[in-house]
Chain A
């Protein structure tokens, strides 16, 4: 991988990201105690409620002062604080290895930045790709000290996976039954369409974000003449004679495609964001994602 740790997460970006934290609009149950309030009542310093004692409750939480006054056993309940599960799902198909910088690199930078935010806040961060089989989940990172491991993992990622978008997302859902935030970073260029894939995410009831990464070459192709366009994934060929009218039509098609994805996501409570690889990651996170409410 050409992208180094420096590239993935430049120090100045680190400084800015430290102030941010991941936000979810849903309150999920975490695996471990974390820094977030949970729906569950548990052991924390923050009082939540009382309830009557039933057989088997931990005697340590009985409010003895109330028992002394009312001669009834009440149990003090505290709010539980839990960790947040953050998943970055990267599309590592061949098509992502395109553009300058390549879309995959851009996706890795984005994942590194968001992962770092999660690590700093003690969240559970997991970086996965679509091509991973269902039985073999990716590594979990937790705590600031795991940053290097995370970056290391990202550097290992290579384009060339052939799993379709829908299948990849399905596998992801199978691997990670829990709740949390999932950020799908993909170009959504799948011949079968993106709808199935996104439906899996919706069904998984995760707080889903779709970051649609497109390179400048795709947004505004610099092509001319009689060309045979070869799909880098499946070798499919499209013969076109590029002219102004055709380019115009391409832009219209692209706009329609983007609009369809955005529409699909918005209707299903997902957040959609179109990212041009030319747009700096920092700006994307501190600007667009902050506005969309992924970070705060």
Chain B
């Protein structure tokens, strides 16, 4: 802004120009024979003097206009408009599957990108912005920059994905970048760079769950002096004095305490969430396949059945044509009428010819979202799971493993417990030659846990070598005798010989509890089963009300485990993860030379064994090959001893994948929906296939939400921008330049109106 004397100086410019016009033009004298004709002519001209004056003063007029424009520009005129202001912006753009809906032409993502481009165009010079695209993962397309061309280019380059939505991930990334020095999850940390407030713009259709545990703070730009202290304050005490700052620190400590209470606690910090930019229309019309699988008919194992569930997400009742294809050939079709916002299941029976192959279900009626109109299910040729049974004789268990159903699922290799000490076991365990290992009253050495899931019956898995304490080692040495009992010397229930070690190791195990390994309490007599976890697949369809147990060892399973059977004495069975595998431990002996329980003669025992075979041995995935959601990783197991496999996605180049550490081939690039082909060891033929299907209720549902909860803050859809000052001086100066050019042209070319 100018001071008064500058204005005065400026105001004197137009009169000066007018004065200059009153000055006589210095004309070049030219001698002519006679001015007779010239005077005559000028006299003629004087007849229309006004016109002549106007014509002469055109240049004056233009100059005055120019000066007026410049003065106006200096006045910094502006208008209240909707516009970006404030300097720093974070644009979060949803690229999840639902954004490919075409209810907004050309697609929701394109519309969102257009909105971002519009905002970028409105950015003032000097403003910086960041572009993040997110689906279930977030991707920083462009870090903070004020290069608008670059921002535009990056926004235009954003690609549609088929993945589901996880807005928390995006918020974390944005917060991490907007709040330097912040990990994004912790509240109190050491700042390494100056954090400045940024505005968060979320461009989405709102098809994601509310985000709990997000703290939204620091909505207003903070006073620069108190920036350090007040940054972590609540906005209402973005205070002026020390006292306020102290209070703020207390408040932030409280907030920190509260934050740690939230497991997913996460703070937006300086991010200021702006009204949501929702793309999409309310009456978008979509019928999607939300589930599709194929499996053997339980009654007739030769027969294949396909199950699908369709859901109509549109506001109107809809009739769709559905067709089922096997290996690309149409084998069945149906016409389904779906009520508004409701679903329906479909079942297809396939004849015997369909032993294996790729089933594809299509909805042939077009709608706004094409991605969920196709679903694939792969039925691979069944492969039996290889099961290693290490036992010194357990006929009940062997009997349960030789049922018809179990025989269909697995091949059992039986070995004595002495086998565990042989080098052959070492090879088998480390190479992962088995899909499931069952240890009956014995346990492998700690460093030789097999590379597969395990079932321990009446014994404990050994503690991890690194955390084995002295007592455990002593216990291991003491037990000896070819039966390496688990670290804390938990007794095999039936083994009377180990009772001595129990008394030694028990207390030491309790004094040094290791949360990551299995432990057991003292042997309890006649524990009563009080509860079983029927929701777990291993305990599916099992009733243990009639099971009696003579002796049981209550388990202390490691952290992250699930108790399967609970008793009056404590947990008797539990399942815990281990490096991508799972270990099930039964705290009581089943079968064997001494009768410990009547479970083997109950119906539930073979069912339990079958469940364990299916669940732990990969029995479910053997038949019906995996179907994963877009972006989810898949661990591919290969029967052949090969180092690498080739994965061919539905589009794009083939990927080569090395054998991973868990004896599987981790396939992570499953971003696109469709059918993936796996070729093993450079063979020409596909040795397996798997499907990536959307199957996501949130993505298929096209009804845009109008508000999203980020923690306790409800962010609503908003069209109205923040009222902001639009500076016009640039335009005025440009107009001034144009006028100057016109004036110059007129002066030189003597054009006249």
Contacts and interface: CB of A to CB of B under 8 A. Distances in A.
Interface of A: 94-96, 98-99, 103, 187, 189-191, 215, 217-218, 221, 223, 225-233, 236-241, 243-246, 249-250, 252-254, 257
Interface in B421-462: none
Contacts of B26: 226
Nearest to A257: B37
Contact of B752 (A191, A245, A257): A245
A225 B34 contact: no
Interface of B: 25-42, 44-45, 56, 750, 752
Among A187, A189, A253, residue most surrounded by chain B Cβ atoms (within 10 Å): A253
A191 B37 CA distance: 9
Chain A contact surface mostly = mixed
Contacts, number: 91
B651 to A, nearest CB: 69
A241 to B, nearest CB: 8
B32 A187 contact: no
A266 B36 CA distance: 23
B32 A229 contact: yes
Nearest to B42: A238
Chain B contact surface mostly = mixed
Nearest to B36: A189
B33 A227 contact: no
A98 B25 CA distance: 27
Given A229-B38, A240-B38, A249-B45, A215 B33 contact: yes
Contacts of A249: 41, 44-45
A190 B34 CA distance: 8
Given A243-B750, A249-B45, A189 B37 contact: yes
A232 B42 CA distance: 19
B363 to A, nearest CB: 75
B752 A253 contact: no
B752 A243 contact: yes
Given A187-B34, A232-B32, A253-B37, A239 B27 contact: yes
B35 A238 contact: yes
Contact of A230 (B32, B41, B44, B752): B32
Nearest to A191: B36
A229 B35 contact: yes
Contact of B28 (A217, A227, A245): A227
22 contacts: A187-B33, A189-B34, A215-B33, A227-B29, A227-B30, A228-B28, A229-B29, A230-B35, A231-B32, A231-B34, A232-B33, A236-B35, A237-B35, A238-B39, A241-B56, A243-B752, A246-B41, A249-B44, A250-B38, A252-B41, A253-B41, A257-B37
A81 to B, nearest CB: 44
A252 B39 CA distance: 13
Given A227-B30, A239-B27, 6 more contacts: A229-B32, A229-B38, A230-B32, A241-B25, A243-B750, A249-B41
Nearest to A193: B36
Contact of B29 (A228, A241, A243, A252): A228
A28 to B, nearest CB: 34
Contact of A257 (B25, B35, B40, B45): B40
Nearest to B55: A245
A189 B31 CA distance: 15
B28 A226 contact: yes
A189 B41 contact: no
Given A226-B25, A227-B29, A243-B752, A254 B37 contact: yes
Contacts of B42: 238, 240
A190 to B, nearest CB: 7
A229 B27 CA distance: 9
Contact of A244 (B33, B36, B39, B750): B750
B34 A95 contact: yes
Contacts of A230: 29-32, 35
A245 to B, nearest CB: 6
A221 B30 CA distance: 12
B577 to A, nearest CB: 94
Contacts of B37: 189, 218, 250, 253-254, 257
In the A-B complex, the 9 residue pairs with the smallest Cβ-Cβ separation, listed nearest first, are A243-B750, A189-B34, A95-B33, A228-B27, A98-B33, A238-B35, A253-B41, A231-B35, A238-B38
Among A96, A217, A230, residue most surrounded by chain B Cβ atoms (within 10 Å): A230
Contacts of A240: 38, 42
A229 B30 contact: yes
A249 B45 CA distance: 9
Contact of A218 (B33, B44, B752): B33
Contacts of B28: 225-228
B30 A228 contact: yes
A197 B40 CA distance: 19
A231 B29 CA distance: 10
Nearest to A190: B36
Given A225-B28, A226-B27, A239-B27, A189 B38 contact: no
Contacts of B25: 226, 239, 241
Nearest to B32: A229
B24 to A, nearest CB: 8
Contacts of A254: 37
Contacts of A218: 33, 37
A285 to B, nearest CB: 24
Contacts of B752: 243, 245
A226 B747 CA distance: 11
A166 to B, nearest CB: 14
Among A96, A98, A238, A257, residue most surrounded by chain B Cβ atoms (within 10 Å): A238
Contacts of A226: 25-28
Nearest to A253: B41
